[in-house]
Amino acid sequence: MTTMPRTPDIVTRLPTVGTTIFTVMSALAQQYGAVNLGQGFPDFEGDPKLLDAVTDAMRRGLNQYPPMAGVVALREAVASKIASLYGRTFDPGAEITITAGATQAILTAVLAVVHPGDEMIVLEPAYDSYAPNIELAGGRIVRVALTPGTFRPDFAAISAALNRRTRAIIINTPHNPSASVWSFEDMQRLAQLLRPTDTLLISDEVYEHMVFDGVSHESVARHPELAARAFIVSSFGKTYHVTGWKVGYVAAPASLTAEFRKVHQFNVFTVNTPMQHALAAYMAAPEPYLGLAEFYQRKRDRFRAGLASTRLALLPSQGTYFQCVDYSRSSDRGEAQMCEWLTREIGVAAIPLSAFYADGFDQHIIRFCFAKKEETLDRALERLARL
Ligand SMILES: Cc1ncc(COP(=O)(O)O)c(C=O)c1O
Q: What pLDDT digit, counting tens, does each position of 224-275 carry?
A: 999 999 999 999 999 999 999 999 999 999 999 999 999 999 999 999 999 9
pLDDT band at 167, cuts 50/70/90?
very high
Number of residues that make up the chain: 387
CA distance 49 to 311: 42
**How many CB atoms lie under 10 A from the CB of residue 127?**
18
- High-pLDDT (> 70) share of the chain, %: 100
**Lowest mean per-residue pLDDT among 22-26, 76-80, 89-93, 198-202:** 22-26
pLDDT band at 68, cuts 50/70/90?
very high
Q: Higher confidence at residue 305 or residue 1?
A: 305
Closest CA to 267 of 107, 101, 72: 107
Q: Pocket of ligand 1, candidates 235, 241, 351: which has the most ligand atoms within 8 Å of its Cβ, to mutate?
A: 235
Q: Is 208 in the pocket of ligand 1 (CB under 6 A)?
A: no
Q: Is 219 in the pocket of ligand 1 (CB under 6 A)?
A: no
Per-residue pLDDT at 22 exceeds 90: no
Q: Is 101 in the pocket of ligand 1 (CB under 6 A)?
A: yes
For 270-322, write each residue's pLDDT tens digit.
999 999 999 999 999 999 999 999 999 999 999 999 999 999 999 999 999 99
pTM above 0.95, yes or no: yes
Q: Which atom of ligand 1 is nearest to the CA of 106?
A: 4
Three-state secondary structure call for residue 315: coil
- H-type helices in 33-124, by residue range? 48-59, 72-86, 101-113
Question: Do 154 and 146 form a contact (C-beta atoms < 8 A)?
Answer: yes
Question: Do 114 and 134 form a contact (C-beta atoms < 8 A)?
Answer: yes
- According to DSSP, the residues that pair with 234 across neighbouring strands are 249
Per-residue pLDDT at 1 exceeds 70: no
DSSP letters, 115-152, are: PTT-EEEEEES--TTHHHHHHHTT-EEEEEEPPTTT--
Q: Phi and psi of 124, rounded to 5°?
A: -100, 145
For 129-159, write each residue's pLDDT tens digit.
999 999 999 999 999 999 999 999 999 999 9
Per-residue pLDDT at 28 exceeds 80: yes
Q: Is 105 in the pocket of ligand 1 (CB under 6 A)?
A: no
Q: What is the pLDDT of residue 116?
A: 98
Residue 15 buriedness (CB in 10 A; 0-12 / 13-18 / 19+)? exposed
Per-residue pLDDT at 83 exceeds 70: yes
Q: Is 239 in the pocket of ligand 1 (CB under 6 A)?
A: no
Q: Which atom of ligand 1 is nearest to the CA of 175?
A: 1
Span from the CA of 55 to the centroid of ligand 1 (angstroms): 25
- Residues 326-341: what's their mean pLDDT? 96
Q: What is the pLDDT of residue 3?
A: 87
Q: Is 205 in the pocket of ligand 1 (CB under 6 A)?
A: no
Q: Is 288 in the pocket of ligand 1 (CB under 6 A)?
A: no
Span from the CA of 102 to the centroid of ligand 1 (angstroms): 6
Q: What is the pLDDT of residue 383?
A: 97
Q: Pocket of ligand 1, candidates 25, 41, 78, 103: which has the most ligand atoms within 8 Å of its Cβ, to mutate?
A: 103
- Residues 168-175: what's their mean pLDDT? 98
Q: Is 172 in the pocket of ligand 1 (CB under 6 A)?
A: yes
Span from the CA of 376 to the centroid of ligand 1 (angstroms): 22
Three-state secondary structure call for residue 219: coil
**How many CB atoms lie under 10 A from the CB of residue 345?**
13
Q: Which atom of ligand 1 is nearest to the CA of 320?
A: 16
For 364-376, write each residue's pLDDT tens digit.
999 999 999 999 9
Per-residue pLDDT at 73 exceeds 70: yes
